[in-house]
Amino acid sequence: MASRKIPVPCWNQPSTSSSSSQEPRLPGAHNGHQSEAAFLGLKESELFQLSKLPSSIYMVRPKLTEMSQDGSMKFTIPRYPEEALAAMHQFRQNGALCDITLCVAGQQIRAHKIVLAACSPYFQAMFTHGMKEAGLCEVEIQEPSITAEAVRLLADFAYTYEIHVTQQNVQALLITAMFLEMRHVVEACTLFLEKQLDPTNCIGFANFASVHGCLELEAKAKKYIYEHFCELIKHDEFLTLDAQDVVNIVQQDELNIRCESEVFQAVVRWVEHDADTRLSQLEDLLEKVRLTRLAPCFLEDQLEKCYIIKQLPNCVKLLLTKLRALKQHGECTDQPRKPCKPLVIYTVGGFYRKVMDSLKSFECYNPKSKEWTRLPELPSPRCGPGVASMLGLIYVVGGRIMRCGQSVDSCSVDAYSPEENMWNSKTPMGVARNRVGVGVLDNMLYAVGGCSGGELHRSAERFNPEKDSWEPVASMTSVRTSHGVAVLNRLLYAVGGFDGRERVSSVECYHPENNVWQEIEPMNEPRSGAGVAVLGGYIYVVGGFNGHSQLMSVERYDPKRRIWEYVAPLLKARSGVGVAVVDNMLYALGGYDGTDFLPCVEKYNPVTDVWEGESRMLCERSGHGVGVERTPNLC
């Protein structure tokens, strides 16, 4: 069958009559009646400008995207929207087809209603919802905060979808874009300002955003304030805040601080800046500080030395009340701050049978993403170290260095900074301690018991991070190694372990006020190499070795009832296990089951009393240290 030709519309065909030399005309543009310019409603000069548009606008090649069985075809024109906008922008620059003039601060900006309405709900409502402006060719924008230059830039954006944001124009652009409801430009300005945030301007940005109703920028500026609180309070902008703004900041759970004393000192500094007018507000501000999260010695120091507190009897009374509560070792009434970065579990060193050496490896586990990340190795390989988190750092204390069949018990102390992603050495302990128990009490790091060579220790010492020095404290009532240590209600507990003859079930706790150890109720069964952690007001003891076999059992101590009680056992028996608490879940990592070194991880939910499997460690190990801190900065 011969193919059927589709006829070309007759008005596009050259005439075959004697007038064939004449150019074809648009429909209705008859000789002697109407010119092309008149047909389009243009002046001849405007039509001339249109003729200068780049030919590429009309020369975009169609792309076949679909062909049907009946022979029909579907085409798309690549980049057609961009080309069409470019053509309309050229029309606007040439003054062609413009049907609206915006008058702003005495200046005129010509445009096309349809283009403005397409990118601005403000103009869409103005031109399509029956408002009087819909029929006008000139509209005045009288908003005082709107500038002509900002409107001109936004009109350009409507055609070019490009916006040039600078420090000089960003505020005017943001205000105008919000007024005209141009979401994309608002987002661009917000992103620009977010990248300019620093401790000297973040409060100003937050206030600017609040005044102009820019909720996204306000939220990001406040997040920056909370994350950089310790830097912010060093600058004058913090001192100029009003009292309510200070309250709003210091009561936030998300404040990124190492210690609550930083919040306390920020409040005092703010009051001291204008003591005559601000002194009366100190009590309200101190009530927002989480005072029972402070060390008693800090409160005592403030009561003795802080002159503005001593001027206010109610403030003195408040601090004395909190101080008494701390010394009575009751349950802490103030919740800890929530870290701005997620908490992760750090695993340090340990023993790995395949190499028969202690390990230098250092990793972290993110319980939310269930991913492990390798981190900078320990300065020296160690198994049996004590690990604890204090003031934003992970401390690794003592342990045993095993290399090439040789072993040395260590007194060294190293601290890892998640913020800097690096290790720093600290002053070593007074004695070497392997299989040592460590805990943090009143911002002091305690190292308790352990062994070196053939000697088991009763002794204990504590590290002052401000002085980078160790000092001895009272010795335990008995020697212990491979024991666990936990801190609950400002009491430091030493749990179980090995006394040189047998595994023990005994437990003792240290009272910092009078520097003495006191035995308390023993566990239900003896165990060494158990994991010990605090969760929900209980001390949990996980697994361990009883002298005959590795244990699956788990028990917890209730200090209110002064009893030990069993909870659900582990899925797999293990000793030399590391434990950690994140988001009210208890994790048991690695260990030794009597035959194999384990890479497996289990998670315990205290609400359901159930253990379940988690992502495995990067390698099996036992005798490693475990700590919890914020996510490391890997940038």
Q: Where are the domains of the chain?
A: 82-196, 223-327, 343-630
CATH of domain 343-630: 2.120.10.80
Q: What is the mean pLDDT of the chain?
A: 90
Beta carbons of 392 and 258 less than 8 angstroms apart: yes
pLDDT of residue 295: 95
Reply yes or no on whether the pLDDT at 97 is more than 70.
Answer: yes
Tell me the Cα Rg of the chain.
Answer: 37
> How confident is the model over 160-177, as a mean pLDDT?
94
pLDDT of residue 22: 47
DSSP helix/strand/coil, 553: coil
Rounded CA separation 432/625 (Å): 16
Return the number of other C-beta atoms located less than 10 Å from residue 377's C-beta: 14
| Window from 57-71, 455-469, 484-498, 618-632 with minimum mean pLDDT | 57-71
| Local confidence band at 219 (pLDDT 50, 70, 90 cut-offs) | very high
pTM, rounded to two decimals: 0.81
Reply yes or no on whether the pLDDT at 514 is more than 90.
Answer: yes
Helix (H) or strand (E) holding 389: strand 386-390
> How confident is the model over 173-189, as a mean pLDDT?
95
> How confident is the model over 197-203, as a mean pLDDT?
94
pLDDT of residue 43: 56
Backbone φ, ψ for residue 86 (5° rounding): -60, -40
Tokens 């507190």 correspond to 309
Beta carbons of 38 and 32 less than 8 angstroms apart: no
> How confident is the model over 310-337, as a mean pLDDT?
94
pLDDT of residue 1: 44
**Residue 318, both tokens:** 């408040």
Rounded CA separation 135/354 (Å): 84
| Local confidence band at 13 (pLDDT 50, 70, 90 cut-offs) | very low
pLDDT of residue 84: 85
Q: What percent of the chain has pLDDT over 70?
A: 90
Reply yes or no on whether the pLDDT at 274 is more than 50.
Answer: yes
**Residue 277, both tokens:** 């007018």
| Local confidence band at 41 (pLDDT 50, 70, 90 cut-offs) | low
pLDDT of residue 495: 99
Strands of 115-273, DSSP E: 138-140
Backbone dihedral region of 410: left (phi > 0), alpha (psi from -120 to 50 degrees) or beta?
beta
Reply yes or no on whether the pLDDT at 59 is more than 90.
Answer: no
Work out whether strand 400-403 and strand 406-409 pair parallel, antiparallel, or are unpaired: antiparallel
| Window from 25-29, 384-388, 523-527, 562-566 with minimum mean pLDDT | 25-29
pLDDT of residue 61: 76
Reply yes or no on whether the pLDDT at 16 is more than 60.
Answer: no
Rounded CA separation 233/211 (Å): 23
**Residue 389, both tokens:** 């988190």
What is the domain class of 223-327 according to CATH? mainly alpha
Domain 82-196 matching CATH 3.30.710.10: the answer reads yes
| Window from 67-76, 317-326, 372-381, 607-616 with minimum mean pLDDT | 67-76
Helix (H) or strand (E) holding 626: strand 625-630
Rounded CA separation 6/29 (Å): 25
Rounded CA separation 595/282 (Å): 62
pLDDT, greater one: 415 or 66: 415
CB-count burial class (<10 Å; 0-12, 13-18, 19+) for 257: buried
pLDDT of residue 612: 97
Rounded CA separation 599/372 (Å): 12
Most confident residue range from 22-36, 325-339, 361-375: 361-375
First and final CA of the chain: distance in angstroms?
A: 70
pLDDT of residue 339: 81
